[in-house]
Structure 1
């Protein structure tokens, strides 16, 4: 079955692996998009304005560069991760030096409960904030962010944290198949807080791994598909959830299929768990790409009219989430989330670049659809319709962002002094903040500040329980 039948009458699919330099050059000077080898769309579709073509051009070029660097980026990431863990396992540079002299170097094991991902090395906190109780307004947000951070780790790390530090039930770390990348790429963890009232199941989707080129491709891909009566949705994120090449989004799939798809597998697990625990509810959460998957998982439940599950959906909590659809999709989701009384809390920290992409302007349709819980570098929050400098790339914001990046570098040392040593910033995060003085917005996207926001952040009193409206 071809894409024309799969995606209906309104879609745009970018295929950077098929683009040549000549193809890209002609794109900038011709408004016609159909019949190009690296663009698949209905006949006669045009990009009338140069800015529209430029955005498609930059998306394709970025994906080509990521494709070319895929292997070297992975090797660098694996090496960096190994050396950071090697230092940690041997007590730092000094300990490693003496262990080498004694011939007693501890070699990290990737499957160990002590082996952390690059994201985990940036923020090594494991325990939940004991000052935030289960009936506090901050509890679900704080738990969601810690689960989102934990989703980057291996199964033994997650199991140890959930069972031994959180005293909760670990229900598994799952890997899911991506039909388009033809690899296991999406991951999620499931856990249950059996002491809360009602019992709370948490599904946390893993975000973009720093050195995974395929996941960064998903973030910069502008491909979209228009669901009838729903709106345009980002195709890359749907692929990560389990969009299938030959069938799209059927309500049910062949259970004999050897591959496990994120949406269908998690949906079935939730059906089973909620039948066994009739008083339980669940939340969906994720950081970065994981946040996009969390809200689109909820969207698919509404598209497939999974009423019994939607009535059990307590909330969706996203952190540094990119845009996933257009205005029509946003209106559809706001209506459905209100109907089922589902909280949608979209956290944005300071100058974080990721919530500000893909572009939201007259030449590109992507829009956030829920007010953002926006926190500045003092962790003071506001409920805004849109984060300031919504598209990030603005000449008017260059100097303020650079000045704020310098302040962030200094301010990173203050929470440990003012609040407690659990907020101590490690050397790896300090290096990232130094890097942020050159490219602001990257360090702000990392987990440490989002964890701090859910613990230390303040919001106007009447906004603590805000819904999508």
Structure 2
């Protein structure tokens, strides 16, 4: 079969929209994969060994298929759930809200500055910590954590927070197109701090009820991309990958692709001054942040790399193999770019895809690891790098639930946790890594931990 990708000779791409129960059984039984437009798996010719983990590929495709099937009801349930969460702060009558729910007009409500996402309801803090001055080594890390947190909100909410609470300027809020999912799946915003002449680019992570984002997270597709190595395909697609890869010049398309749109705007913003910029994100957003820097390096964007002061990620999954690790470590050193990968406790997401003989994915850069007491350690790799650890993580989950009730009395009432977050911590007694992934603990870590790392 002729390769549909012009930029690589080795790849594995899963297409859940082309999969089905019969095809999955055929693949598990005999290794059969359809060719052409009906292929649910695209694999480079002569690289059939990429298909040897048939059970893993089949399981991933099955989960992605389920997400495709439930995407609409999942989205509608999420809308109703967020409507319920926002009821106490709404000025509209119950009857009117109920009618809007039935007619679908709640979408308008979701676009208002007073509407808070599910993630926002796990941590309602919106102000920057006034006790952390601009001269504090924690400042940019704490600013990045808050930017990554509010990236989950709508444009009106972000504009209100950035302008009125942070006294900064919202440059632009973006919705980006995913060529492979044929819809807008990626969001980011860009702000300007006029005091420090600093631009912050913040990518949104995975929303609770966004099936497309969950499908991206589960995607084990990958591309062996020229000189930078093996890179996670799902994240590359979300960043704006096309069949030509990421060519130096922006492809002619009617759609807004994340990498090219942000690159063009940053070029315009820094070309005639000394403005610096940082890139950040939580979860999926963190993966997009470091990959954005990687493609800038691939394209030898000298000016932008010179002005890129740092990449701050929170709960970021692995994005590439050992070759990618070496490529990025060299780029960070050559261009003096700070890369801080912040990991809290037993968060599951930074420990996937696994660093194993199957996945071959590696982390790199400085890992700032925070335990459940918000004590900082500087490590090459977070403890228990593949999550399969002793029972201790369950004891930590019990402690985190207890801590949620006592922390406001110890650290102050701004650290009081919402009932929703406490509910997530209860669920975390079963899957500790899920509860530890919430942005609340990452904001706490940047505020409460003593640090000497700039």
TM over 0.5: yes
What is the alpha-carbon distance in structure 2 between the residues aligned to residue 2 and residue 417 of structure 1?
Answer: 64
Aligned counterpart, 1:73: 74
Aligned counterpart, 1:431: 423
What is the alpha-carbon distance in structure 2 between the residues aligned to residue 191 and residue 127 of structure 1?
Answer: 15
| Residues 454/106 of structure 1: CA separation in 2 closer, same or farther (3 Å cut) | farther
Find 2:264's aligned residue among 262, 268, 291: 268
| Residues 404/10 of structure 1: CA separation in 2 closer, same or farther (3 Å cut) | same
Residue 168 of structure 1: CA displacement? 0.9
Q: Which moved more, 1:382-391 or 1:348-357?
A: 382-391
What is the alpha-carbon distance in structure 2 between the residues aligned to residue 25 and residue 156 of structure 1?
Answer: 47
SS of equivalent residue, structure 2 residue 227: coil
Find 2:349's aligned residue among 354, 357, 364: 354
SS of equivalent residue, structure 1 residue 263: helix
For residues 55-95 of structure 1, what are the alpha-carbon distances to aligned partners after superposition, in whole Å with 9 as ceiling and x for unaligned?
Answer: 222222221221122112111111111110013336xxxxx
Q: Which ranges in structure 2 are unaligned for 5 or more consecutive residues? A: 101-105
Q: Is the 8 A contact 1:33 1:41 kept in 2?
A: no
SS of equivalent residue, structure 1 residue 311: helix
Residue 22 of structure 1: CA displacement? 4.2
For residues 103-150 of structure 1, what are the alpha-carbon distances to aligned partners after superposition, in whole Å with 9 as ceiling and x for unaligned?
Answer: 999988222211111111111101000011111100000000100111
| 2:280 aligned with 1:285 | yes
Q: Is the 8 A contact 1:330 1:367 kept in 2?
A: yes
Aligned counterpart, 1:217: 215
Q: Is the 8 A contact 1:47 1:53 kept in 2?
A: no
| Residues 104/359 of structure 1: CA separation in 2 closer, same or farther (3 Å cut) | closer
SS of equivalent residue, structure 2 residue 431: coil
Aligned counterpart, 1:407: 399
Q: Is the 8 A contact 1:34 1:40 kept in 2?
A: no
Find 1:456's aligned residue among 438, 448, 451: 448
For residues 7-30 of structure 1, what are the alpha-carbon distances to aligned partners after superposition, in whole Å with 9 as ceiling and x for unaligned?
Answer: 421111111232333443454465
Q: Is the 8 A contact 2:142 2:446 kept in 1?
A: yes
What is the alpha-carbon distance in structure 1 between the residues aligned to residue 97 and residue 57 of structure 2?
Answer: 54
Aligned counterpart, 2:331: 336
Residue 284 of structure 1: CA displacement? 0.4
Aligned counterpart, 2:322: 327
Q: Is the 8 A contact 1:380 1:457 kept in 2?
A: yes
| Residues 216/326 of structure 1: CA separation in 2 closer, same or farther (3 Å cut) | same
What is the alpha-carbon distance in structure 2 between the residues aligned to residue 389 and residue 53 of structure 1?
Answer: 26
SS of equivalent residue, structure 1 residue 294: helix
TM-score (norm 1): 0.89
Residue 456 of structure 1: CA displacement? 0.6
Q: Which moved more, 1:331-340 or 1:153-162?
A: 153-162
Residue 175 of structure 1: CA displacement? 0.9
| Residues 372/28 of structure 1: CA separation in 2 closer, same or farther (3 Å cut) | farther
Q: Is the 8 A contact 1:144 1:285 kept in 2?
A: yes
What is the alpha-carbon distance in structure 2 between the residues aligned to residue 26 and residue 261 of structure 1?
Answer: 36
What is the alpha-carbon distance in structure 2 between the residues aligned to residue 222 and residue 432 of structure 1?
Answer: 27
> What is the correspondence of 1:180-195 to structure 2 with a 5 Å cutoff?
180-195=180-195
For residues 338-363 of structure 1, what are the alpha-carbon distances to aligned partners after superposition, in whole Å with 9 as ceiling and x for unaligned?
Answer: 10000000011111111111121012
> What is the correspondence of 1:240-259 to structure 2 with a 5 Å cutoff?
240-245=238-243, 247-254=244-251, 257-259=253-255
What is the alpha-carbon distance in structure 2 between the residues aligned to residue 105 and residue 43 of structure 1?
Answer: 55
| 2:135 aligned with 1:135 | yes
| Residues 59/254 of structure 1: CA separation in 2 closer, same or farther (3 Å cut) | closer
Q: Is the 8 A contact 2:12 2:50 kept in 1?
A: no
Q: Which moved more, 1:139-148 or 1:410-419?
A: 410-419
Q: Is the 8 A contact 2:5 2:245 kept in 1?
A: no
Aligned counterpart, 1:40: 42
| Residues 243/100 of structure 1: CA separation in 2 closer, same or farther (3 Å cut) | closer
RMSD: 2.4
Find 1:317's aligned residue among 309, 312, 315: 312
What is the alpha-carbon distance in structure 2 between the residues aligned to residue 446 and residue 308 of structure 1?
Answer: 35
SS of equivalent residue, structure 1 residue 442: helix
Q: Is the 8 A contact 1:344 1:370 kept in 2?
A: yes
What is the alpha-carbon distance in structure 1 between the residues aligned to residue 50 and residue 326 of structure 2?
Answer: 26
| Residues 5/163 of structure 1: CA separation in 2 closer, same or farther (3 Å cut) | closer
Aligned counterpart, 1:84: 85
> What is the correspondence of 1:352-431 to structure 2 with a 5 Å cutoff?
352-392=347-387, 394=388, 396-397=389-390, 399-431=391-423
SS of equivalent residue, structure 2 residue 377: strand
TM-score (norm 2): 0.92
Aligned counterpart, 1:228: 226
Q: Which moved more, 1:5-14 or 1:351-360?
A: 5-14
What is the alpha-carbon distance in structure 1 between the residues aligned to residue 277 and residue 125 of structure 2?
Answer: 24
Q: Which ranges in structure 1 are unaligned for 5 or more consecutive residues? A: 91-95
What is the alpha-carbon distance in structure 1 between the residues aligned to residue 10 and residue 284 of structure 2?
Answer: 24
